[in-house]
Amino acid sequence: MAASHNEAKPNPEVVYSATQPVDTAVVQTPKGTLVGEKVGDVNVFRGVPFAKPPVGDLRWKPPQPVEAWDGIKTAIEYQAPCQQPQLQDPSEPNGGGVQGVKSEDCLYLQVYAPAEAEKAPVVLWMHGGAFFLGAGHLGSYVGMENAKKGVITVPMNYRLGPFGYFAHPSITAEGDGTGSYGDMDAVAALEWIKENIESFGGDPNNVTIAGQSAGGFLVMNLLSTPSAEGLFQKAVVQSGAGLTDGRKLEAAEKSVMEGLPNIGLPEDATAEQLRGVSAQTLVYDPVFRSGIRGVVDGKFFTTTTKAAMEAGTEFDVPVLLGSNMGEGGFNRAKLVAQMAGDEGAGAFLYNFQHQAAERDASWKNGPIHSAELMYTFDTLDTSSWSGGISDMEAEKTYADMVSSCWVAFYKMDPMDKTISCADGLEWPAYTEENDAVAIFGDEIRIGNASELPDGPQS
């Protein structure tokens, strides 16, 4: 059921799924043959594995490459989202969780590709949900319209909560790096793209990492992650431009150890004991539910993006970043753009201010967290956030304009300092001199970042 217009945090849900006989699309990847669905001029592959299932002994291990298969692997239906609680709480991200069955076997992605793609730009999408909720197959993230505009879109799942963000001395002793398995999953997806995306008509040397909320924070992390270097050329951070100090490994381990008696284990539990705890116990325990994030373990994470930027490191890839007027956080995005410097790759600032008339009564301060997604993806037809909008044609026209700017960024040369989009908008990279921000209000225009408030004004 579509969300009503007065819900504070509508719950995106799957709208598009293959339930009828389909026209098939076939690709031969380096690991084997995949069969997906051909929808008009777009090839759609759902539930594509990019790593082995992280279950059993692979819980709290770095993602392992998928093994080659014989015969044909069907990629028409979505696979289960990663383990998470079903909270039924509209104050939580995504309304409190994704409906349906969840699983630790969840490292899957979708590929939406133009049917005749050749060297098409690629965007890897990382969903939001506070690092313990959400999934890559939700209706707001359907990549059909991006594909029609020439961009291969790859929404992914990554391990969440206690499965993605967990540290304990017994796990650390195994020597594989620890604490940030969800971020490791993102690197594994990038490595999968590097190896496989040419089979779908994509360019492995024109890849954008993109995410919103927690997914945006994940993108920020990857900007300073050594193992991700060279695997992407551009980045998009929507409502997630946080600069954090990270957490020392010892502090993260201490937090986990102190919580173990709550679930019947000693603080010095063995790795075998830890892996024997049921998924349901972990996802509903208040200590572990959200995970222990931001661990600088000296192996996977050797520093934080904040520390790197404070040391004077400038972005070597362009970044598009911003926030929505009704949620706050614009100053954080502006600070990142300022710290990125004028000499490195461009930082393109935006502030999203548009909302349908039906939202005015409930969103009194402007569009709230996540409200921009159905516009940047051009997914009003599949996003439950569009519920209750009466003039869908006008909103879809506006979404086409907004998404054209994101698509232009995906397509542009990384050295460009201007995005040309939205039927005449020339969006320059931010500098302290030009103070430029793209304002997506009822009119799409370039404004002055210094004149915008950080967030809602009462």
For the chain, the domains span: 24-451
Is the pLDDT reported for residue 457 higher than 70?
no
Q: What is the pLDDT of residue 415?
A: 93
pLDDT by residue (tens digit) across 1-27? 233 333 333 333 333 344 555 799 999
Is the pLDDT at 254 greater than 70? The verdict is yes
The pLDDT of residue 334 is above 50: yes
Looking at residue 9, its pLDDT comes to: 36
| Beta-strand relationship, 32-39 and 42-49 | antiparallel
CA distances from 332 to 226, 297, 419, 456 (A): 24, 25, 22, 14
pLDDT value at residue 91: 64
CATH topology of domain 24-451: Rossmann fold (3.40.50)
Take residue 268 and report the two structure tokens written for it.
């010095």
pLDDT tens by residue, 277-327: 999 999 999 999 988 888 888 889 888 888 888 887 778 899 999 999 999
Q: How far apart are CA 219 and CA 183, in angstroms?
A: 9
pLDDT tens per residue, range 116-170? 999 999 999 999 999 999 999 999 999 999 999 999 999 999 999 999 999 999 9
Residue 428 pLDDT > 80: yes
d(CA 61, CA 397): 45
Mean pLDDT along residues 420-431:
97
- What pLDDT does residue 341 have? 67
The enclosing H or E element of 205 equals strand 202-212
pLDDT for residue 199:
98
Predicted pLDDT of residue 3 = 33
The contacts of residue 451 (CB under 8 Å, 6+ apart) are none
Q: How confident is the model at residue 357 (pLDDT cuts 50, 70, 90)?
A: confident
Separation of alpha carbons 421 and 2, rounded Å: 31
pLDDT at 344: 75
Please, what's the b/e burial string for 408-447 (b: 16 or more CB within 10 A of its CB; e: otherwise)? Answer: bbbbbeeebbebebbeebebbbbbeeebbbbbbeeebeeb
Q: What is the per-residue pLDDT for 94?
A: 63
Which has more confidence, 347 or 246?
347
Looking at per-residue pLDDT, the higher value among 218 and 458 belongs to: 218
Predicted local distance difference test score (pLDDT) of residue 17: 45
Q: pLDDT band at residue 342, thresholds of 50, 70 and 90?
A: low
What are the tens digits of pLDDT across the range 395-416?
Answer: 999 999 999 999 999 999 999 9
What's the confidence (pLDDT) of residue 149?
98
Which of 150, 44, 204 is closest to 411 using CA atoms? 150
Q: In angstroms, rounded to a whole number, what is the distance separating the alpha carbons of residues 432 and 338?
A: 7
Q: Are 146 and 123 in contact (CB under 8 A)?
A: yes
Q: At what angle do helices 181-196 and 214-222 cross, to 10 degrees?
A: 70
